[in-house]
Chains A and B, each alone.
Chain A
Amino acid sequence: MSNASPIWISDLTHYYNRQQSMPTLDDINLSIPQGQLTALIGRSGCGKSTLLQMVAGLLIPTEGAIRIRAHTVTKPSAKWNMMFQKPSLYPWMTVRENAALGLVFAGTYNQKKDRVEELLDMVGLSEHKDKNVQALSGGQQQRVALARSLATEPEVLLLDEPFSALDAFTRTALQTEVAQICHDQNITMVLVTHDIEEAVAMADQVVIMSHNPGQIVGEKSIPLAYPRDRNSAEFAELKDELFAEFETIDKAKQDKPFERLEVVRPKSTAPSVEKMLQQAS
């Protein structure tokens, strides 16, 4: 079942509190393909980060469910790991100690020391392993966070605008590297971003969200080979198409700011847990 969707989101609706007239997330149905990078894009306030935190198990939806493989997500796990906007490294630890932390929590660091070294080499921090993380630049810190997320060998890596605080050069480099890692290591990734160029540069498919209420209004696949040439005509065309989609949403929202948009999307076809277990065996 290597090509089956590892993540199923079915009939998910969320209110932060019951006084809200509109749900933060409204009837979300989505399946994320295995080993690919899916971008969730939308304006701030569309609930994309909320949705991602739910996939991570950091928030529980009011209604509906999220399944990763045969597990219903109810709590965080190192198997579905999240990278945040800020690296949030622990300043009293070295680069190596930070990267190894997930393995230390799991009690497997002694067996998997080599993995930490390899990952730090891979993200280009070979010479900084013993430094305190406060001595690193923002980009290097986010690389440590990436190594830390990958160390526990997650099946799913969730990216919550992890590059938005970085300078343009570092951002571009990391976007390319992370998309590469996704495909090389067959890790399913979900990226939340409001940067259309980032989505086109990294994602295999893009899910477009609208706000008030937060809903999925479109999906688009990005059929470009990696590594992607940001100056190519196809790249520019895809970007323009996505921008056009947002203009359409904005126009619709201008007339009726607090109404659901009419979206014709197939309902979730999530198989039952039993069926998935059967397939697996």
Chain B
Amino acid sequence: MSTAQVALRAEFFSQLSADFKKMPLWVQSTINSVIGMSILLLMWWIGGILIASNPDTEAFADFAPGPALAALWSLIGTEFLNETIISSLERILVGLFWGIVIGVPLGVMMGYFLAVRQIANMPFQFLRMISPLAWMPIAVLAFETWDGAIIFLIVMATVWPIVFGTAHGVQRIDPNWFRVARNLGADGFQMLRRVIMPAIAQDVFAGIRLAVGVAWVVLVPAEYLGVTSGLGYAINDARDTLDYATLAAMVVVIGVIGYLLDAIAVFLIKRYSWHAS
């Protein structure tokens, strides 16, 4: 390559980058997202080719994007897929519900009382580090139904981020807000509703966002347990019936729903955030 060609090419790229920076921010971020997804698809596609070209693994060739997306297309709208998704979402939501019911009051206590914080911090940090899946044998013993056991695992996954998020929010409350509200005649309930809840909402939702992420990751292996519905079950079932296209399609579904759940949490954080941008 001649020096002139190199210079020309360098100029082309610097021009391209300058043009890119002139675009509106949302266009830039959309283009970048498309690039990221394209890289992911490309790697999946290359992986599929490698699997198909190796005699040892060619039986798994249906993992490739072509068959998987075709399987996904034929699954969309079917009762099977809808029921699978609904059962998984139900478990997540029930688990999240209990995580919030237990986690928010605990977090408020931890944030408000130094003694509670000191007492609870070590044990909670300890419990937080245990993979929720490690509770599986105990959960199976302790709960009569498989659903109960799975929901228990989800609660164990969701409660800690919610506790710590809430406690963080309560600790950040400006003490003057209490003083002013008392001074204006607020009773305990009004203090909770008008001052504490709105003040900590964004931190609670930030905790819930982390909780949803962990819970969704935990849910799929938890559904390998005895249940006969849900995304984890569907994956296990596809493996047993050697239906690798459906298996890969389920992986895509899990990713998409996880992304949507996260997007909802992000929306709620923004909705209840009061920090001036």
Contacts and interface: CB of A to CB of B under 8 A. Distances in A.
Interface of A: 56, 58, 76-78, 81-82, 84, 86, 88, 90-92, 101-102, 104-106, 132, 134-135, 148, 152
Given A90-B195, A91-B274, A84 B176 contact: yes
Given A90-B198, A101-B194, A105-B190, A58 B183 contact: yes
Interface residues of B, number: 21
B185 A105 contact: yes
5 contacts: A88-B174, A90-B198, A90-B199, A105-B184, A134-B276
Contact of B184 (A58, A81, A86, A134): A81
A77 B185 CA distance: 5
Contacts of A76: 182-183, 185
Contacts of A86: 176
A90 B179 contact: no
B186 interface: yes
Nearest to B202: A92
Please indicate which of the listed interface residues B184, B185, B195 has the most CB atoms of chain A within 10 Å of its own CB. B184
The 9 closest A-B pairs by CB, nearest first: A92-B274, A88-B176, A134-B276, A102-B184, A78-B185, A91-B274, A92-B198, A76-B183, A88-B180
Nearest to A104: B194
Q: Is the interface of A mostly helix, strand, loop or mixed?
A: mixed
Contact of B177 (A90, A102, A132, A135): A90
A88 B175 CA distance: 9
B185 A82 contact: no
Nearest to B277: A134
A169 to B, nearest CB: 24
Nearest to A86: B176
Nearest to A90: B177
A161 to B, nearest CB: 14
Please indicate which of the listed interface residues B176, B181, B185, B187 has the most CB atoms of chain A within 10 Å of its own CB. B185
Please indicate which of the listed interface residues A78, A91, A92 has the most CB atoms of chain B within 10 Å of its own CB. A92
A101 B184 contact: yes
B183 A56 contact: yes
A161 B198 CA distance: 28
Contacts of A77: 185
Nearest to A80: B183
Contacts of A91: 274-276
Nearest to A77: B185
Contact of B185 (A58, A90, A92, A152): A152
A102 B198 CA distance: 17
A102 B142 CA distance: 50
Contacts of B198: 90, 92
B276 A58 contact: no
Contacts of A88: 174, 176-177, 179-180
Contact of A58 (B177, B182, B186, B194): B182
Contacts of A81: 183-184
A160 to B, nearest CB: 10
A82 B174 CA distance: 17
Interface in B157-194: 174, 176-177, 179-187, 190, 194
Contacts of B177: 88, 90
A104 B190 CA distance: 9
A104 B189 CA distance: 13
A148 B184 CA distance: 9
A91 B199 CA distance: 9
A26 B185 CA distance: 29
Contact of A135 (B182, B195, B276): B276
Interface in B14-47: none
Given A101-B184, A102-B185, A152-B184, A58 B179 contact: yes
B274 A105 contact: no
A81 B174 CA distance: 19
Contacts of A152: 184-185
Given A88-B180, A91-B276, A101-B181, 18 more contacts: A56-B183, A76-B182, A78-B184, A81-B184, A82-B183, A84-B179, A84-B180, A90-B177, A90-B194, A90-B195, A90-B199, A92-B199, A92-B272, A101-B184, A101-B194, A105-B181, A105-B186, A148-B184
A132 B273 CA distance: 12
B33 to A, nearest CB: 30
Interface in B75-130: none
A106 B276 contact: no
A228 B31 CA distance: 64
Contacts of B272: 92
A263 to B, nearest CB: 31
Nearest to B199: A92
A147 to B, nearest CB: 12
Please indicate which of the listed interface residues A58, A77, A84, A91 has the most CB atoms of chain B within 10 Å of its own CB. A91
A56 B276 CA distance: 32
